[in-house]
Amino acid sequence: MTKEDGCTMKISDAIVYAGVYDRDIDLFEGQYPVPAGVSYNSYIILDDKIAVMDTVDARKTAEWLDKVEKALNGRTPDYLVIAHLEPDHSGSIQAIADRYPEMKLVMSAKALTMLPQFADASLAARAVSVKENDTLTLGAHALRFMTAPMVHWPEVMVSYESSEKVLFSADAFGPFGDPETDPWLPEARRYYFNIVGKYGSPVQTLLKKAAALDIASICPLHGPVLTGSLNEYLEKYQLWSAYAPEETGVLVAYGSLHGNTAKAAMLAADMIREQGVKATVIDLARTDVSFALAEAFKYDKLLLACSTYDGNFFPKMEDFLLHLKAKAFQKRRAALIENGSWAPMAAKGMKAYLEQMKEIAVCENTVTIKSTLKEENKAQLAALVNELLA
């Protein structure tokens, strides 16, 4: 999905993109590496009345206010619509409110209770609280508001502009990366599972509301404006929120101290591929856990290979399993390979984590390697792969 496929920052003459691209940020939300940065999107609807749709992270306030001012062309905004109060979007509320003192702030009732945490309490006097299906008429354009609680904060709402059929979707459908050039899917997936993943059921509720709308464009708070055929995006969100895999295939994730477990993991991946099934191998010590998590959700099967470490197992693997559990990883098949020089314990430890997740079918076979891979281990790996793929 690129610009040519319908990703564009141009919406219409009346609905203008006013987002900013933060290419310097190292960690989004203090933990997710964003090698290609992230955009904080904002939009302006210019009609008899003017609505600014969300603000941006405090890292970009000045650049954003300049953009807004240019787009306004001497006019003054009547409304700031606040979809979400997380600081990447609320970070410039105070600044724009100070600049345009007549502007009203439109938000959900829940957002109104939380607003004083992100701006001066005095702003509440300028707030308009809206509820499900309330509309705000701007002229030829009108916004209908729909709450989206726990996608992925409690105060979230989305807005639908009916004349141009635009859904302002808050964080939903937003990826990391350069909104103008990066493909949507990989970073939308990583954003979704790491940030929204735990909230599959609230996302399903939002998708049901969206299904009743005639949508021509989706304007998320990150990444490109989505236009053209929206089915691909909607289908991905449908699968993701149902915890259903996108593809048949195996994520082979390993943690290895001296490389022997890594060798076993790669050999197992080769065996998987020989059977015509896709396999992606990830070294958990060298790949950020957010990428591994997204790959795990993409496939229907997971193969974990890990060294024993101080009577337990390699901490990078434990961190990965902690993340999977926290993001409600479920409905998958899994297989285990362990390594240990005197008392291998890794499989037991990994299995204990998998048992805390819903509907993870762990293979009966487990391969135990004692330090280095031996011929008999290869036969065991083949049997494990056969069971996993059966």
The residues binding ligand FMN (CB under 6 A) are: 256-262, 307-311, 339-344, 371
Q: Cα(390)–Cα(384) distance, rounded to whole angstroms?
A: 10
The residue within the footprint of Fe ion, chosen from 22, 54, 86, 295 (CB under 5 A), is 86
| The entry of ligand FMN, Fe ion, none that residue 88 binds, CB within 5 to 8 Å by partner kind | Fe ion
Q: Shortest approach of ligand FMN to residue 309 CB, angstroms?
A: 5
CB 156 within 8 A of CB 167: no
| The entry of Fe ion, ligand FMN, none that residue 343 binds, CB within 5 to 8 Å by partner kind | ligand FMN
State yes or no: residue 88 binds Fe ion (CB under 5 A). yes
| The entry of ligand FMN, Fe ion, none that residue 380 binds, CB within 5 to 8 Å by partner kind | none
* Of residues 143, 64, 62, 75, the one with CA closest to residue 103: 75
Nearest residue (CB) to Fe ion, 158 versus 221: 221
Which residues in the 149-178 window bind Fe ion by CB under 5 A?
171
In the bound state, the residue with its beta carbon closest to ligand FMN is 340
Nearest residue (CB) to ligand FMN, 35 versus 259: 259
Q: Shortest approach of Fe ion to residue 278 CB, angstroms?
A: 31
Nearest residue (CB) to ligand FMN, 198 versus 370: 370
Nearest residue (CB) to Fe ion, 86 versus 318: 86
* Of residues 150, 289, 125, 246, the one with CA closest to residue 206: 150
Nearest residue (CB) to Fe ion, 301 versus 327: 327
In sequence order, which residues have a C-beta less than 8 Å from that of residue 222 and are 6 or more positions away?
Answer: 38, 39, 40, 41, 171, 174, 175, 176, 179, 191
Q: Shortest approach of ligand FMN to residue 246 CB, angstroms?
A: 30
Return residues touching Fe ion (CB under 5 A): 86, 88, 171, 221
